[in-house]
Amino acid sequence: MPRKLPRNSQDDFIPAYLKLPSEEIDKRIARADNILTSCRLCPRSCGINRKEGEYGFCRTGDKPVVSSWGPHFGEEKPLVGRGGSGTIFFTNCNLGCLFCQNYSISHLGEGAEASFERLSSIMTDLQSRGCHNINLVTPTHQVPMILKALRMAIEGGLCIPIVYNSGG
Ligand code: SF4
């Protein structure tokens, strides 16, 4: 399906996720989802089953948990451009750095569970607001959920680059 690029995107840039066949994306989602059953998403290797309500170091289950989102103008200039970087701040973290600048989000769990549909609509909304990219802030412990939402967002016309903005 032809995709309409947002006003500020470079016309010749195609994000890697749009080059993957949908079957391949589904395979990767399934593989990522399976990791949650004995979680080794990050080097903490907690080995707990997040799909059965168990929690590891990051205190996060198998649903997206989001603190805030919006165009961000404080990131590096190439990410911000004119329309801003479309940040999505994910709640909790697998790192636990005491000096974290997002302490209330990463340590204190500020945020709320969101449906996959909601996370997907946040992505497409950021695009329609003119953001140049989707900037996933602290995504590592939520990658399987992000992939599921991304799949829906692609169906909804998402076509801007993704920034994997991790502390590690
Ligand atoms: S993502 Fe969370 S539960 Fe999984 S290994 Fe890392 S800290 Fe543990």
Contact indicator for 123, 91 with CB cutoff of 8 Å: no
Cβ neighbours for 4, distance < 8 A, ≥ 6 positions apart? 157, 159
Determine the atom of ligand 1 nearest the C-alpha atom of 42. 6
Q: Which residues of 103-138 are buried (b: 16+ CB within 10 A; e: fewer)?
A: eebbbeebbeebebeebbbbbbebbeebbbbbbbbb
Q: What pLDDT score was predicted for residue 35?
A: 98
One digit per residue, pLDDT tens: the chain, 168 residues? 444 545 445 567 899 999 999 999 999 999 999 999 999 999 999 999 999 999 999 999 999 999 999 999 999 999 999 999 999 999 999 999 999 999 999 999 999 999 999 999 999 999 999 999 999 999 999 999 999 999 999 999 999 999 999 976
Q: Is the minimum distance from the CB of 94 to ligand 1 under 6 angstroms?
A: yes
Distance CA 8, CA 31 (A): 34
Say which amino acid occupies 62: D
- Please tell me if the CB atom of residue 65 comes closer than 6 angstroms to any atom of ligand 1: no
- Residue 13 confidence (pLDDT): 86
Q: What is the pTM of this model?
A: 0.92
How many whole angstroms separate alpha carbon 168 and alpha carbon 138?
A: 9
Q: Which residues lie below 8 Å from residue 61, measured CB to CB, with a gap of 6+?
A: 50, 53, 55
Q: Whose CA is nearest to atom 2 of ligand 1?
A: 58
| Spatial separation of the C-alpha atoms in residues 10 and 56, rounded to whole Å | 41
With residue 148 as reference, give the H or E element that holds it: helix 143-155
